[in-house]
Amino acid sequence: MKINTIIIDDSSFILASIKLLLKSMGIDTNCIYTSKTASNAVQICTEVEMDLVICDINLGRGISGIQLIDELRYKCIIPDYCTLIMLTGEKSQHVIYSILDMNIDDYLLKPYTGLFFKNRVMKQLKVKQSVKGVYLEKNRGNHRNSIKILDKIRATNKNKNYYDKLKCQILNDANKHNQALELYSKSVKAYDEDWAKVGVIQSLLSLSDIDNADIKIDELISEKDKNVPLKFFDVKVNVLILSKKITQAIALLEKLNETTANNYSRCQTLAHLYMITGRYSEARELYLHYKKLVKDTHLNNFMSDYYLITSLLFIKSKTSKSVDINKLFTLDISNKNSNEKHLYILLQAHSELHSNNIKSAIYKIMYLFKNYNQLSKESLLHLSVLLKIINKINEFEKITKLCLSKLNESNTCVDDVLTGYFIESIKNGVSTGKEFCEH
């Protein structure tokens, strides 16, 4: 079989043994690549379009297998139809939860028998390869054609639930949320599986039916009793945020972080929630932890620095101590995009306000205000804070109004709801706004 495959493990013995197993499965040895490091794996996957990736979680030094898969996905190096199999010798609840968070095809616990390995890998590979044409059409934006192909495949295969799940995903990608909801609901009755139940709730959220989504997720969690999958709680967090129940969302995320402290997505979301509720020191600690988690990955970028620096500046607004931005944030922004350059100017102005370099700070703030049409939502939000600090009330009202107008009108975007909540806090003099004004 001409199945482009890469095995990633820091053990030469594991690489050799898996290569032999794949050869015995009929995969052409010329199509099998091996790598002991994440960086080499990225290079190989850049040059060869993979059909199968088998990766160990622990790769020794550098990033983990989980982070590597995330990198490959972010850089679009591996196609949607690529089968992803993770390997691990660790059986701790923390590791298993981390794997389940990844949305991969399967994972294997070491040690395993050769027969077990071959059966599990071949099962997933056959299913994923059967829908390769579906993914290709979907990625071209031909959702209707991809569904036609998928329906034909489904009619001649037994694994109906897998194909129905994929069809639901395509319908949602095509913004056909009502059709997706209908198919998810039918799938709940037909298969009684978690993906269908969660899909119903996510479709309701996409349709702005937050109240029914809240009822459904509570029913789902209560049904599971103590064995509740983490993805259920992730959905519940989103529902709470969309319902603007921020305190409850924080409490739930804090519990989840105790279970999976290395989930960088939850870590950053909780840090954002701390920020909009004025808990800046706790936000700073989480932003620092986040940067450790994403070290050597694409997520360790300008924005991760920006969030950390902002939390430090907000803390200083309480203590009235100066912050030297150059000691905290030193990088060459000449090759950054316009949004990052605007945010950097805002950080400089914010720092200058703390160090009493008021004239320079106001010049930067008003310069950006005059060019507000060029600013992103993030820049407008930070600009509104600084306008409030320097008591430019008319300008502040104009920018907050503009920022709110850029938010998703359907109110189903978590980031937009958080932005709106933060703006209202500033306008009402609560949390951030009050402390800034006093400063």
**How many CA atoms are closer than 13 Å to the CA of 92, on its beta-carbon side?**
7
3-state secondary structure of 249: helix
Residue 326, pLDDT above cutoff 60: no
* pLDDT tens-place string over residues 392-431: 999 999 999 888 887 765 556 888 888 888 888 887 764 4
pLDDT band at 355 (very low <50, low <70, confident <90, very high): confident
Structural domains present in the chain: 5-130 (3.40.50.2300), 136-240 (1.25.40.10), 244-438 (1.25.40)
Residue 211, pLDDT above cutoff 90: yes
How many other CB atoms sit within 10 Å of the CB of residue 86? Answer: 23
Average pLDDT over residues 266-279: 94
Quick one: pLDDT at residue 437?
40
Q: What is the pTM of this model?
A: 0.87
* Cα Rg of the chain, angstroms: 24
Residue environment code for 319-336, b if the CB has 16+ CB neighbours within 10 A, otherwise e = eeeebebeeebeeeeeee
Residue 342, pLDDT above cutoff 50: yes
Q: What is the mean pLDDT of the chain?
A: 88
Sheet holding 5-8, edge to edge: 32-35, 5-8, 52-56, 83-88, 106-109
Give the span between the Cα atoms of 288 and 413, in whole angstroms.
Answer: 26
Give, in degrees to the nearest 5, the angle at Cα 234 between 231 and 237. Answer: 155
Q: Which of 16-20, 373-377, 414-418 has the highest mean pLDDT?
A: 16-20
Those residues whose C-beta lies under 8 Å from the C-beta of residue 436, and which sit 6 or more positions away, are 317, 385, 388, 389, 426
Quick one: pLDDT at residue 89?
87
Average pLDDT over residues 78-107: 85
Average pLDDT over residues 248-264: 89
% of residues, the chain, pLDDT over 90 = 67
**DSSP letter at 9?**
-
Quickly list DSSP for 261-328: TT-HHHHHHHHHHHHHTT-HHHHHHHHHHHHHHTTTSTTSSHHHHHHHHHHHHHHHHHHT----HHHH
Give the span between the Cα atoms of 231 and 392, in whole angstroms.
Answer: 44
Average pLDDT over residues 114-130: 95
Quick one: pLDDT at residue 433?
39
Q: What is the torsional sign of CA 202, 203, 207, 209?
A: negative
